[in-house]
Amino acid sequence: MSSFIVKSIGGALNASSIISTKFAAKRAINLFASPRKGRYNDYQKQIINSAFFEETRYNNMDIATYRWVGKGKTVLLAHGWESNTSRWNYILKDLQAQDYNIIALDAPAHGRSDGKQFNAILYSEFIATIIKKFQPEVLMGHSVGGMASVFSLHNHELPSIEKLVLLGAPAHFTGVFDRYKSMMGFNKRISKGLDSIILNRFKQPVSYFSTANFTESIVAKGLVIHDKKDQIIPYEDGQLIANRYKNAEFVTTSGFGHGLKDESLTPKIIDFINA
């Protein structure tokens, strides 16, 4: 959406908040949680056609999983917002060359997984369900997939995970939420209403959901990669995660952007997995 359309929607919700803050905040959270893309197009379907497709149930929802079978370590891949498993195409061949047993999942409301709305808490439950089923040694998440991966390890006993790779992950939900509020131009009524919805739904304030803080409880060895020119998740988020995640190595890039889809990073990731 163009900035004009975004601001127009924000302005309309601001106006409606004068009549009903609850209504406006509910519309705002639904907008925040509804991905506009992430289902497969024809080209992306070709990427996943070589995988063994399987669905796993979580709370009456189907989790779409894809497997490229190998005899080596099992690696689980978790994509980010408005994406799907096809985003890993740039690295799949190199991982297969290592004979890894590769598993990937689609997030809620993304790819072929069930759901119409997304949140990182639900995604973390999807990830935990797949970890319990396939027992991977390595977990790699991009963007909010990295955040959800950390939430999953923080909230569940998942001893199979020995290595964690975080690519462009946000350090805390507060930052993500504040950037959304700012982008939409929401007034204080809606802002406070959004915070109240999070508290009511998840029984914790927005500030509680911190990737950086949660890494302090993770024993798996970590590799944190973040680009200085990331325009989606600030570089400072990567620095904060690395600072709190004591058992992690921090790799800084410049010019790869938020996607971090550069083949020069692949040997570093593989060396980390094999170490």
Tens digit of pLDDT at every position of the chain (275 positions): 556 677 688 889 889 888 899 999 999 999 999 999 999 999 999 999 999 999 999 999 999 999 999 999 999 999 999 999 999 999 999 999 999 999 999 999 999 999 999 999 999 999 999 999 999 999 999 999 999 999 999 999 999 999 999 999 999 999 999 999 999 999 999 999 999 999 999 999 999 999 999 999 999 999 999 999 999 999 999 999 999 999 999 999 999 999 999 999 999 999 999 99
Burial class (CB in 10 A: 0-12, 13-18, 19+), 263: exposed
Instruction: Give the helix/strand (H/E) hosting 104.
Output: strand 101-105
Kindly give the residue spans of alpha helices, DSSP state H, lying in 135-265. Answer: 144-155, 173-184, 188-202, 211-214, 235-244
Contacts of residue 75, Cβ cutoff 8 Å, sequence gap at least 6: 95, 100, 101, 102, 103, 136, 137, 138, 139, 140, 273
Q: How much is the pTM?
A: 0.95
Instruction: Give the helix/strand (H/E) hosting 164.
Output: strand 163-167
d(CA 243, CA 220): 15
Domain boundaries, the chain: 1-33+173-202, 40-169+210-274
Residue with tokens 């988020």: 237
CA-CA-CA-CA dihedral for 54, 57, 63, 64, to nearest 10:
10
* Confidence (pLDDT) at 41: 96
* Confidence (pLDDT) at 3: 67
DSSP 163: E
* Confidence (pLDDT) at 111: 98
d(CA 163, CA 145): 15
* Confidence (pLDDT) at 1: 57
Instruction: Give the helix/strand (H/E) hosting 10.
Output: helix 3-19
What type of residue is 157?
A: E
d(CA 31, CA 39): 17
C-beta separation of 81 from 143 below 8 A: yes
Count other C-beta atoms under 10 Å from residue 271's C-beta.
Answer: 10
Burial class (CB in 10 A: 0-12, 13-18, 19+), 65: buried
What would you measure as the largest C-alpha separation in the chain, in angstroms?
61
* Confidence (pLDDT) at 139: 98
- Whole-Å CA distances, 142 to 17, 23, 158, 166: 35, 33, 19, 6
* Confidence (pLDDT) at 9: 87
Of 164, 183, 165, nearest to 232 by C-alpha is: 183
Count other C-beta atoms under 10 Å from residue 76's C-beta.
Answer: 24
Of 7, 56, 50, 32, nearest to 187 by C-alpha is: 7
40-169+210-274: CATH topology is Rossmann fold (3.40.50)
* Confidence (pLDDT) at 5: 75
